[in-house]
Amino acid sequence: MAVRNDDGSFKMRESKFRNYIAVGGRFPPEKGRYHLYVSYACPWAHRALIVWALKGLEDIIDVSIANPQLLDGWRFVPSDRKVPNDERDVWDFPGATVDKVYGTTQLSDLYHKADPTYDGRYTVPVLWDTREATIVNNESSEVVRSLASGFDSILPASLPASAIDLYPEHLRAEIDATNAWVHRDINVGVYKVGFATTQQAYDVAIRDHVAGMARVEALLSDGREWLVGGAMTEADVRLFTSIIRYDPVYVVAFKTNYGLVRHDYPYLHHWLKKMYWTVPACKDTTHWDHLKAGYHWVSGKIPIGPNNNIEALTDDEG
C-alpha cells in the first residue's frame, strides 16, 4: 500500500486524473452530473468533503462513502451488507454507503472503468463524471479547487455559500506558499513519520514534522485567527484535516508523540477548536468512528483515547 524510498522513508505517488470543472470546458458545472467518492477516514478526502459542505453543493453533487476498513482497497459496503464468501473479519460501519452510481463494491472497479489500463493506486477522493463515466480528478488539492469555485455559476446567488472564496486572488501566493510547507511537514509529514520503516528514517521524518508543528504554532501565536488573511481559506481546510486527526490518531498510530495538540500547541489548539465548533462544514464531516477505525483497524483494536476527541471551546474563547 505505502510506497517507500530505498532508505525506508515514505514516498507519495502522483495522482493521474487531473481535470477541472470549468464553464465551457470538457467538464462544465452541472447539477447531478458529478459524484464524489470518499472515505471519512481519509484526510485528503476530508478536504473535499469540507469544501463540498461549505459551498452548499449537497444538492448538486452526491457522495458515496467507503467502508473505513481498507482491506484490499476501498470498498463500498454499508454496515448491513457483507461481501459474499468474504471470510475476513469485516467490521460494521454505520455511515458507509453503497456506490450510489453503479453499485460496485471496489473503488478499483471505478478506476478501471475510467481507464482499463490504469496501474496506479486506487485512492480517494475521486471526483467522478457520470456523463463520460470517467474520473475528472483524483488529486485532492485540485478537487478542492474545482469544488471551491467550479460550480459557482450554478449556485443560487441567494446562498451565502456562493460568496465564500477560499482562494482569493490577492492571497494566492501566500496560500500556495503556506500549503507547500504544511503539505510537506504536516499533511504528508505525519505519514513520513508513521510509515518510516527504519529508526533513521523515523528520526529524520519526526524532526522535520516537529519543526513544521512549531512553525504553524509560531504563525498562529501572533494573534491571527486564520492561517492566511482575515478569513478562512483553503490553507485552513488543508491543515484542519490533519490536525483534527492528530491527538485521536497520529500520536498513537503514527508515533507522532512528541506533543499533543491539546497540551503542547495552545494556539493551534484554539484554532482547531474554533474551526470544529464554529464551522458546521468541519464538524459535520468529521466522523470519529470512521477516522479512528480507518487507521487503527490494522492492529485489530481501536484505542479508547483521548478522553475527548476534541475539547470544548471555553467561555472566553467562544
Ligand X SMILES: N[C@@H](CCC(=O)N[C@@H](CS)C(=O)NCC(=O)O)C(=O)O
- Rounded to 5 degrees, φ, ψ at 126 are -125, 125
Which residue in 140, 146, 179, 241 binds ligand X (CB under 6 A)?
140
With binding defined as CB under 6 A, does residue 240 bind ligand X? no
Residue among 32 and 120 whose Cβ is closer to ligand X: 120
Which residue in 10, 17, 122, 250 binds ligand X (CB under 6 A)?
122
Q: Least distance (Å) from ligand X to the CB of residue 72?
A: 9
Which residue in 123, 146, 149, 242 binds ligand X (CB under 6 A)?
123
Distance, CA of 200 to CA of 202 (rounded, Å): 5
With binding defined as CB under 6 A, does residue 44 bind ligand X? yes
Identify which of 317, 313, 178, 164 has the alpha carbon closest to the alpha carbon of residue 239.
178
Residue among 125 and 150 whose Cβ is closer to ligand X: 125
Q: Is 122 annotated as a binding residue?
A: yes
Q: Is 39 annotated as a binding residue?
A: no
One-letter amino acid identity for 74? W
Residue among 137 and 233 whose Cβ is closer to ligand X: 137
DSSP 233-273: -HHHHHHHHHHTTIIIIIHHHS--TT--HHHH-HHHHHHHH
Q: Is 91 annotated as a binding residue?
A: no
Name every residue whose Cβ is closer than 8 Å to that of residue 137 and which is 6 or more positions away in sequence: 15, 17, 18, 19, 20, 126, 127, 143, 146
Q: Is 139 annotated as a binding residue?
A: yes
One-letter amino acid identity for 206? I
Which residue in 16, 112, 113, 121 binds ligand X (CB under 6 A)?
121
Quick check: 126 and 112 in contact, CB under 8 A?
A: no
Quick check: 209 and 185 in contact, CB under 8 A?
A: yes
Q: Is 124 annotated as a binding residue?
A: yes
282 is catalytic: no
- Rounded to 5 degrees, φ, ψ at 113 are -65, -40
Q: Which of 40, 111, 191, 265 is catalytic?
A: 191
Q: Least distance (Å) from ligand X to the CB of residue 223?
A: 31
Residue among 48 and 232 whose Cβ is closer to ligand X: 48
Q: Least distance (Å) from ligand X to the CB of residue 218?
A: 26
Continuous segment of H or E residues that includes residue 78: none
**Residue 126: strand pairing partners:** 37
- Binders of ligand X among 55-114, rule CB under 6 A? 73
Q: Could you identify the residue written with the cell 510506497?
A: 3
Q: Applying CB under 6 A, which part among 16-24, 86-94, 121-129, 297-305 lies near ligand X?
A: 121-129
Q: Least distance (Å) from ligand X to the CB of residue 262?
A: 23
Which residue in 53, 60, 61, 124 binds ligand X (CB under 6 A)?
124
Name every residue whose Cβ is closer than 8 Å to that of residue 2 and which is 6 or more positions away in sequence: 10, 191, 195
Catalytic residue annotation: 42, 191
User: Footprint of ligand X on this chain (CB under 6 A)?
Assistant: 1, 15, 42, 44, 73, 121-125, 139-140
